[in-house]
Amino acid sequence: MLDGRVKLVAISHVPTNGGLVNPVEQIGAITRQAGVLYLVDACQSVGQMPVRVDGIQCDFLSVTGRKFVRGPRGTGLLYVRRSALEKVEPPFLDLHAAEWVDRHRYVVRNDARRFETWEGNVAGRVGLGVALEYCRQWGIDAIWTRVQALADTLRKALAASPGVTVTDLGGRRCGIVTFTVDGRTSEEVKRALRARDINVSVSDRASTLLDMQARGLDRLVRASVHYYNDEHEINALVEAVQDIGR
């Protein structure tokens, strides 16, 4: 499959609409062997599980601040492996990404900052740094253990609830738990939970069209657990969903 036409393989480590954790390390071993560039979208994984670029062997890794990292909206990170730097062109060049050295000549920076722009939201970046440091203080291994335990409890309890279908995929699953309730739209479930002070979101078809189409799904309720949740809250969510489905 990875013949000369393939320039880059891009994959979401954790897609937005379910518990699935993609086997990014195994894919990395294949792309490395084929000499194909490899980009991992880790927006839904960083902050809830350990993510190590050397284990994954990716050339690029993108991260958002606003999800499991618990940082400010509109912030993010891009990791670029040094060996991949010259193989892709930054979309914008300004006085930060490159130096204008002569009338018809500029020199692009030789580090990943060539993908940054001069102007940025400094307060947001500071907030992102604080959020990452906070995450480090708890310890990502401890966070991951806790997230998996809570999500597992929630998934099992929802799956055992009449009229509730858990729609998560994958052998390895994370803190995103998705489900549908017979006879209720996902929006109805979200609204009814909100009225009980429980926040969930709805994933619609357009966010992950190919997967939703392939599975004949339209909308899902998405409960994302994190380390600050507790078993009491998980029970309250399950009881509320059961009640809504009656």
Ligand X SMILES: Cc1ncc(COP(=O)(O)O)c(C=O)c1O
Distance CA 57, CA 31 (A): 9
Taking the complex as a whole, the smallest distance from the CB of residue 207 to ligand X amounts, in Å, to 7
Taking the complex as a whole, the smallest distance from the CB of residue 15 to ligand X amounts, in Å, to 6
Q: Are 168 and 178 in contact (CB under 8 A)?
A: yes
Of positions 21, 22, 38, 44, contacts ligand X by CB under 6 A: 44
Q: Are 173 and 20 in contact (CB under 8 A)?
A: yes
Based on the shown chain and the rule CB under 6 A, indicate whether residue 43 belongs to the binding site for ligand X.
Answer: yes
Q: Using alpha carbons, select from 188, 184, 154 the residue that is nearest to residue 168.
A: 154
Binding segment for ligand X (CB under 6 A), chosen from 26-34, 41-49, 125-133, 214-222, is: 41-49
Q: Which is nearer to ligand X, 43 or 200 (CB)?
A: 43
Report the Cα–Cα distance between both ends of the chain, in Å, rounded. 48
E strand or H helix that includes residue 246: none
Bridge partners of 165, per DSSP, are: 180
Give the pair of three-digit tokens for residue 203. Answer: 């994933």
Taking the complex as a whole, the smallest distance from the CB of residue 64 to ligand X amounts, in Å, to 3
Of positions 22, 57, 64, 178, contacts ligand X by CB under 6 A: 64
Total number of residues that touch ligand X (CB under 6 A): 9
Residues 71-100 that bind ligand X (CB under 6 A): 76
Residue 214 CB neighbour total at 10 angstroms:
9
Taking the complex as a whole, the smallest distance from the CB of residue 66 to ligand X amounts, in Å, to 5
Q: Using alpha carbons, select from 16, 94, 27, 34 the residue that is nearest to residue 58.
A: 27
Based on the shown chain and the rule CB under 6 A, indicate whether residue 125 belongs to the binding site for ligand X.
Answer: no
E strand or H helix that includes residue 199: none
**Residue 90 CB contacts under 8 Å (≥ 6 apart), including other chains:** 97, 108, 114, 115
Based on the shown chain and the rule CB under 6 A, indicate whether residue 212 belongs to the binding site for ligand X.
Answer: no
Q: Which is nearer to ligand X, 116 or 163 (CB)?
A: 116
Of positions 8, 11, 12, 202, contacts ligand X by CB under 6 A: 12
- Amino acid in the structure at residue 51: V
Taking the complex as a whole, the smallest distance from the CB of residue 58 to ligand X amounts, in Å, to 14
Binding segment for ligand X (CB under 6 A), chosen from 9-17, 53-61, 127-135, 172-180, is: 9-17
Binding segment for ligand X (CB under 6 A), chosen from 10-18, 171-179, 210-218, 234-242, is: 10-18
Query: φ, ψ for residue 122 (rounded to 5)?
Result: -65, -40
Binding segment for ligand X (CB under 6 A), chosen from 37-45, 109-117, 136-144, 145-153, is: 37-45
Q: Which is nearer to ligand X, 15 or 28 (CB)?
A: 15
Distance CA 67, CA 187 (A): 21
Binding footprint of ligand X on the chain (CB under 6 A): 12, 15-16, 41, 43-44, 64, 66, 76
